[in-house]
């Protein structure tokens, strides 16, 4: 029985041969310095994490305000309202509903009086009114403002809500419930905080368990977790600083934790697996680590840059939420990358083979035999044309539903476990269409109380209601300086849907131009939830081509420079686009068409949350390039050693299969936890990320990539003469028999 051995390195004269004998690339030089100065590297990292954590605690994070988070006319209107000096207050409503006519029920009127008395006794409300009656005369609204600033009203609404609940208990024959921005905000905050806390707590033990299975040793499993969590803590301090320039949204830190776990674990897996592989081949500890740094370390560097480039495309949206998520992701990925290039080799150089302490019987093995991978890959490469055709057909079939994708603003009323405030909101929408989330017309002029403008505002009210798309209640409020007037009008539709958005367009394009536009030099703009949705969708439509072009263009250039191949760069882009498109298709089938809705515990509203597809594209493109770079680096390494194309491809895929599988399992498990959340958008995000990583690690990397590269053969490395000026980057490793250039001279 013969054993397979690696072909010897090429012996042809090559000016790059000497460069391949030392860790010449940037990643290897950084790692070499860290290994020689490991005390400085480790202590420096710990001090950075401690200082950043303290900075985050002391400075705090600046959060996005309402006027900073919008687009177009609605954002301009919000800015006018914020500067107009209106009392900073949060409005709430109590819906009182009966089966009988309001005018015929003394008990109903007594309940209204009891509600007013109850909320007054709390000492936390003002401006109480109870004159809004539904069209069918079965319901009325008690409206009021909470005292104190609107910014933290959700934290102060509890006593008022409890007082209303007491009225409901005393009058069980009627429906009495409170809703409004503060009440819904309180309910959502509690739900989302509980979700995120649970996801954060689950993701850590799940990830650790998978790593123990992957490495079969406790210490080797703990290292990636240590890097990921310290990188997350360090990036929080950087976020506190960055939020002074780009204010953060509250979900940014949760995304940072999950992305930090994903990439931090990936980067450690790249290093540790390669170091183990080289030790199993007989390399010394120093030499194995040097090889891992020169190869896997370089992959980490390119992968981190790719994710950062992809996330940078989000800045082109000019949307505060997207920018916040991009900044947070960039910071945690960059921090994890720096940690993987510095503190990780420093720790490994100290531990040596002791990294395998805590071996788990039955799980530990320094190097996998890879029999299953070898057998599967052999079948793929025996018929590369057929394999590629089947893989492309499968991906295109999965992507087909993408052609029918519809997007819309998220409807929080689809929350998995709606609380009383959301239930009341739905009933208010039913009894008073558009009253719970009205359109707000902001009118700014030198004096909005002139007879001409007053008449125009009355005309606005009359013509708006006459369209049938806008309804009572209609209210008018003027600021103390009489420079801004706010007209609130109920909208047709339920929450934010096509009907309410069409009502906004009617208001903007027909009613306002015929009534108040230009009267007395007035500037007239429309805001509100539905108007913000219209403007967000319009802004997103303009920015999507820019984001796609930016991400694809820079990723192409990075791959071209890294691998000096026009073909490799093009195929990388195409394969990743196929992977993302397939994930989009599955997203549409599940969340838009509702397949498996009961399994994921949600109700389909016939659309995808409008911000999810773009965000998924950016994240998925960055993460899938992570794997692509790692595999291609191993294949290019074999090519540079003079191996035949088929052998370089086969050995490259097999050599990285264990890492890709382990990393993919971690990512799929962590992202799948999102599907247990309460918000549909959270489920969409988790499902999309999980299935995309699964598709990418199986169909794309295990079937399509190797078959396409075998079909292309030597053409994989085609580079036009006019691009020969591109820098040459070493993909090789130092021979085992040489003294490691990392050896300490002390």
Overall average pLDDT of the 544-566 stretch = 89
Q: Residue 666 has what pLDDT? A: 86
462 Cβ contact partners less than 8 Å away, ≥ 6 residues apart: none
DSSP for 298-312 reads: HHHHHHHHHHHHHHH
Q: Is the pLDDT of residue 247 over 80?
A: yes
- For residues 196 and 283, the model is more confident at 283
User: What percent of the chain lies above the pLDDT cut of 70?
Assistant: 90
> What is d(CA 96, CA 98) in angstroms, rounded to the nearest whole number?
7
Q: What is the pLDDT of residue 367?
A: 59
Q: How many CA atoms lie within 13 A of 559 on its CB side?
A: 30
Q: Average the pLDDT over each of 79-88, 460-469, 721-730 and give the range with the smallest value.
A: 721-730
Q: What is the mean pLDDT of the chain?
A: 84
Higher per-residue confidence, 334 vs 288: 334
150 pLDDT exceeds 80?
no
pLDDT in tens, 190-204: 777 788 778 778 888
- Shortest CA distance to 474 belongs to which of 135, 132, 73? 132
735 pLDDT tier (thresholds 50, 70, 90): very low
- In the prediction, which pLDDT does 604 show? 83
The whole-number pLDDT of residue 496 equals 65
- Would you state the pLDDT for residue 11? 42
pLDDT at position 391 is 95
Q: What is the pLDDT of residue 399?
A: 95
* Predicted local confidence at residue 169, as pLDDT: 93
Whole-number Cα distances in Å, 662 to 216, 606, 610, 656: 12, 35, 32, 10
pLDDT value of residue 4: 38
Question: Could you count the other beta carbons within 10 Å of the beta carbon of residue 370?
Answer: 15
Low-confidence winner among 136-150, 413-427, 455-469 (lowest mean pLDDT):
413-427
pLDDT band at 512 (very low <50, low <70, confident <90, very high): very high
- Helical residues (DSSP H) of 408-450, grouped into ranges: 420-431
Q: Extract the tokens encoding 210.
A: 């998978």
Q: Which of 3-17, 53-67, 410-424 has the highest mean pLDDT?
A: 53-67
Confidence grade of residue 43 (pLDDT, cut at 50, 70, 90): very high
The whole-number pLDDT of residue 215 equals 80
- Better pLDDT: 406 or 13: 406
Q: Which residue has the higher pLDDT, 734 or 407?
A: 407
Of the candidates 25, 15, 6, 32, the one whose C-alpha atom is nearest the C-alpha of residue 740 is 32
Mean pLDDT of 683-700: 90
Q: Is 377 exposed, middle or buried (0-12, 13-18, 19+ CB in 10 A)?
A: buried
As given in the structure block, the two tokens for residue 625 are: 């390039």
Q: Which residue in this structure is represented by tokens 């962590």?
A: 670
Instruction: Read off the pLDDT of each residue in 43-49 and give the average, rounded to a whole number.
Output: 94
Confidence grade of residue 67 (pLDDT, cut at 50, 70, 90): low
Strand-pair category, 608-609 with 407-408:
parallel
Q: Give 309-340 pLDDT, tens digit per residue.
A: 889 999 998 888 889 989 999 999 999 999 99
Nearest to 298 by CA among 341, 329, 344: 341
What pLDDT, on the 0 to 100 scale, is given for residue 2? 40
Mean pLDDT within 700-707: 90
Measured between alpha carbons, how far is 101 from 107 in angstroms, rounded to an integer? Answer: 11
User: Do residues 505 and 534 make contact, with C-beta atoms less than 8 angstroms apart?
Assistant: yes
What tokens were used for 433?
């269409």
Distance of CA 345 to the CA centre of its chain: 30
Average pLDDT on 226-245 reads: 92
- 701 or 370, which is more confident? 701
Q: What is the pLDDT of residues 383-408, one digit of tens each?
A: 999 999 999 999 999 999 999 998 87
């Amino acid at each position: 029985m013969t054993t397979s051995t690696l072909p010897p390195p090429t012996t042809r004269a090559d000016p790059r041969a000497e460069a391949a004998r030392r860790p010449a690339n940037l990643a290897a030089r950084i790692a070499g310095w860290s290994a020689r100065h490991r005390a400085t590297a480790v202590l420096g990292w710990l001090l950075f994490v401690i200082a950043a954590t303290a900075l985050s605690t002391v400075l705090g994070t600046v959060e996005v305000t309402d006027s900073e988070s919008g687009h177009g006319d609605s954002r301009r209107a919000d800015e006018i309202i914020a500067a107009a000096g209106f009392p900073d207050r949060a409005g709430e409503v109590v819906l009182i509903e009966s089966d009988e006519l309001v005018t015929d029920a003394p008990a109903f009127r007594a309940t209204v009086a009891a509600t007013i008395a109850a909320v007054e006794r709390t000492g936390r409300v003002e401006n109480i009114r109870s004159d809004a009656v539904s069209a069918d005369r079965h319901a009325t609204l008690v409206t009021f403002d909470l005292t104190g600033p609107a910014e933290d009203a959700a934290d102060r609404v509890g006593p008022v809500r409890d007082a209303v609940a007491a009225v409901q208990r005393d009058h069980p024959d009627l429906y009495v419930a409170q809703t409004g921005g503060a009440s819904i905000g309180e309910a959502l905050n509690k739900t989302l905080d509980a979700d995120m806390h649970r996801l954060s707590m689950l993701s850590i033990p799940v990830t650790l368990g998978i790593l123990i299975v992957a490495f079969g040793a406790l210490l080797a499993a703990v290292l990636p977790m240590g890097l990921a969590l310290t990188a997350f803590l360090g990036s929080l301090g950087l976020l506190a600083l960055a939020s002074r320039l780009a204010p953060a949204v509250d979900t940014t830190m949760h995304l940072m934790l999950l992305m930090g776990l994903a990439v931090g674990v990936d980067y450690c897996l790249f290093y540790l697996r390669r170091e183990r592989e080289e030790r199993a081949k007989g390399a010394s500890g120093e030499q194995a680590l040097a090889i891992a740094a020169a190869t896997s370390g370089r992959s980490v560097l390119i992968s981190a840059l790719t994710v950062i480039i992809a996330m940078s495309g989000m800045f082109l949206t000019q949307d505060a939420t997207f920018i916040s998520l991009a900044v947070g992701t960039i910071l945690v990925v960059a921090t994890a990358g720096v940690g993987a290039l510095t503190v990780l080799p420093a720790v490994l150089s100290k531990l040596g083979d002791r990294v395998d302490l805590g071996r788990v019987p039955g799980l530990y093995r320094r190097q996998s035999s890879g029999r299953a991978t070898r057998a599967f890959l052999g079948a793929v490469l025996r018929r590369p044309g057929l394999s590629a055709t089947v893989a492309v057909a499968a991906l295109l079939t999965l992507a087909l539903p993408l052609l029918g994708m519809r997007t819309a603003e998220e409807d929080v009323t689809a929350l998995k476990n709606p609380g009383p405030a959301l239930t009341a909101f739905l009933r208010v929408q039913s009894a008073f269409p558009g009253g719970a989330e009205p359109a707000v017309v902001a009118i700014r002029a030198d004096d909005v109380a002139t007879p001409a403008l007053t008449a125009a505002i009355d005309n606005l009210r009359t013509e708006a209601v006459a369209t049938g798309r806008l309804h009572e209640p209609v209210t008018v409020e003027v600021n103390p300086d009489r420079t801004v007037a706010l007209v609130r009008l109920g909208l047709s539709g339920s929450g934010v849907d096509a009907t309410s958005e069409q009502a906004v367009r009617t208001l903007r394009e027909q009613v306002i131009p015929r009534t108040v536009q230009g009267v007395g030099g007035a500037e007239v703009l429309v805001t509100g939830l539905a108007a913000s949705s219209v403007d967000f969708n319009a802004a997103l439509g303009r920015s999507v081509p820019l984001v796609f072009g930016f991400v694809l263009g820079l990723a192409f250039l990075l791959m071209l420079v890294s691998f000096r191949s026009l073909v490799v760069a093009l195929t990388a882009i195409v394969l990743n686009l196929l992977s993302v498109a397939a994930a989009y298709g599955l997203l549409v089938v599940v969340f838009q068409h509702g397949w498996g809705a009961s399994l994921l515990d949600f109700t389909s509203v016939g659309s995808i949350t409008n911000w999810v597809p773009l965000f998924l594209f950016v994240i998925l493109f960055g993460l899938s390039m992570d794997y692509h770079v790692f595999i291609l680096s191993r294949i290019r390494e074999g090519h540079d050693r003079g191996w035949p194309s088929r052998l370089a491809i086969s050995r490259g895929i097999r050599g990285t299969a264990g890492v890709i599988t382990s990393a993919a399992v971690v990512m799929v498990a962590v992202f799948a936890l999102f599907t247990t959340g309460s918000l549909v958008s959270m489920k969409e995000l988790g499902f999309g990320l999980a299935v995309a990583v699964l598709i990418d690690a199986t169909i794309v990397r295990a079937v399509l990539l190797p078959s396409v590269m075998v079909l292309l053969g030597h053409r994989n490395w085609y580079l036009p003469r006019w691009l020969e000026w591109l820098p040459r980057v070493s993909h090789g490793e130092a021979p085992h028999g040489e003294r490691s250039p990392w050896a300490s001279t002390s």
